[in-house]
Amino acid sequence: MPIALWALAISAFAIGTTEFVIMGLLPEVAANLGTTLSSAGLLVTGYALGVFVGAPLVTATTGKLPRKTLLVSLMVLFVIGNVGCAIAPDYATLMISRIVASFSHGAFFGVGSVVATGLVPKEKQASAIALMFTGLTVANVLGVPFGTWLGQAYGWRSTFWAVSAIGVVALLATAYLVPRSDDRQDADFRSELRVLGRPQVLLGLLMTVLGFGGVFAAFTYIAPILTDITGFQAGAVSPILLLFGVGLVGGNLLGGKFADKYLMPTLVVSLVLLAGVLVLFSFTSHYKLAAVITVGLLGAAAFATVPPLQMRVLEKATGAPNLASSVNIAAFNLGNALGAWLGGVTIDHGPGLHAVSLVAAVITAGGLVVALVSWKLDRKIAPSVALKAVNEAC
């Protein structure tokens, strides 16, 4: 794999750390800023909605920039947002700073995915995307557990100072390791919007929203689940998140490897496994050893879906790689926002914290249904395309 992919992975590590680390610090943030746990959980929702809005907006307004210039600029914005989080005097400022940082997220992964697929042969494109997203998964192995420990030991602000430093390293890696190129996005934005209106592209985006949304319905509240239901001390959350991160790395790489050869079967199987693990977690969360094992399985199942979900949209959005890739990253985060919000509703107005995993499973099952419908449409369309080709040949 080209060294430029590792530069993208380093930046993905920085972005993944700031996205996920807040979940292990929700109790500390809520206590320090004098707000409720569910309100603190909205910091996850706000970030996700920022990605959802920012991904297409940034892509639409930066179409004339060379891709490397855009990637470097996005990492500058990322650092600014995280410094803002570190110095935020109140909840509102923290939310705004999270949203500023989130505007770098969707466009970076979207444009980065296009850059990644352009660096390798077609038969390795899903693996290239998976390698870039490895940075995101390793963030959960190293960045999130360390950031959670740091925030619990020295205050949650120290975590965001550390993330800002990682962002500077990622900025330099992108600047020096991604090759210079005059390659511009250069797409007609109106044409790309028309491509996004294709039924299969819309179905791909919807399966991303629902399929991955279940992950965040459960994972947003992983710290209170492990402490209030399973009975762990707060200090045990960080090592358990480390296991979750190990699962993410393995699931992501396996998902990319199998998606290179069997895209839709990999997508469907990964969504089935994810929904099953979420259901299982609703039972195992009451037992310490079983809960720890299930958290690792949840990480593997969650990120096994990412390469096939991203590749599915890119496959169906020929002619609009920039916008489609960024919008699908936005779809991931819309799912994150939806999941985090539904998890909060379940806690405050529903059955309570113990039912969050079951609600998460239902959301992912919705994505599975959409995936099966989309796959069925593929099988209907393929014969008709072949028949049309035969008729034209005759």
- Residue 188: its pLDDT value, please? 60
Mean pLDDT computed over 55-66: 78
Q: Rounded CA gap, 243 and 283, in Å?
A: 19
Tokens of 194: 């028309």
User: Which one, of 106, 122, 116, 133, lies nearest residue 307 by Cα?
Assistant: 133
pLDDT band at residue 77 using 50, 70 and 90 as cut-offs: very high
Calpha distance 88→82 (Å, rounded): 10
**How much is the pLDDT for 335?**
86
Worst-scoring range by mean pLDDT, 58-72, 137-151, 177-191, 270-284?
Answer: 177-191
Q: What is the mean pLDDT of residues 153-163?
A: 91
Residue 393's pLDDT is: 38
7-37 pLDDT per residue, tens: 888 899 999 899 888 877 888 888 888 888 7
pLDDT attached to residue 385: 43
Q: Which amino acid does the sequence have at 75?
A: M
Q: pLDDT confidence of 392, banded at 50, 70, 90?
A: very low
pLDDT at residue 83 is higher than 80: yes
Do 89 and 374 touch, CB atoms closer than 8 A?
Answer: no
Length of the chain: 394
pLDDT digits (tens, 9 = 90+) for 195-249: 777 888 889 899 999 998 898 888 888 888 999 999 888 778 878 878 888 888 8
pLDDT band at 189 (very low <50, low <70, confident <90, very high): low
What is the predicted pLDDT for the residue at 74?
Answer: 92
List all residues 6 or more positions away from 272 whose beta carbon is below 8 Å from its beta carbon. Answer: 368
Output the CA torsion sign for 3, 7, 12, 14.
Answer: positive
User: What pLDDT digit, counting tens, does each position of 113-141 carry?
Assistant: 777 777 777 777 777 777 787 887 788 77
User: Can you give the pLDDT at residue 45?
Assistant: 80
User: 279 is written with which tokens?
Assistant: 């259901």
140 vs 252: CA distance, rounded Å: 12
Q: Which two tokens stand for residue 248?
A: 């993410």
Distance CA 280, CA 364 (A): 14
| pLDDT value at residue 386 | 39
- The confidence score (pLDDT) of residue 387 equals 41
Identify the residue with better confidence: 68 or 367: 367
Q: Which of 163, 139, 360 has the alpha carbon at shortest distance from 245?
A: 139
Average pLDDT over residues 336-358: 86
Top pLDDT among 41 and 297 is at: 297
Q: What is the mean pLDDT of residues 160-180?
A: 88
Angle between the N-to-C axes of helices 237-261 and 144-154, in degrees from 0 to 180, rounded to the nearest 10: 160
Confidence label for 100 from pLDDT (cuts 50, 70 and 90):
very high
Angle between helix 237-261 and helix 125-138 axes, rounded to 10 deg: 180
Tell me: pLDDT of 309 over 60: yes
**pLDDT at residue 57, rounded to an integer:** 83
How much of the chain, in percent, has pLDDT values that exceed 70? Answer: 92
**Identity (one letter) of the amino acid at 254?**
L
Q: What is the percent of the chain with per-residue pLDDT over 90, rounded to a whole number?
A: 25
Please name each of the domains of the chain with its CATH number.
3-179+187-393 (1.20.1250.20)
- Is the pLDDT assigned to residue 172 strictly greater than 80? yes
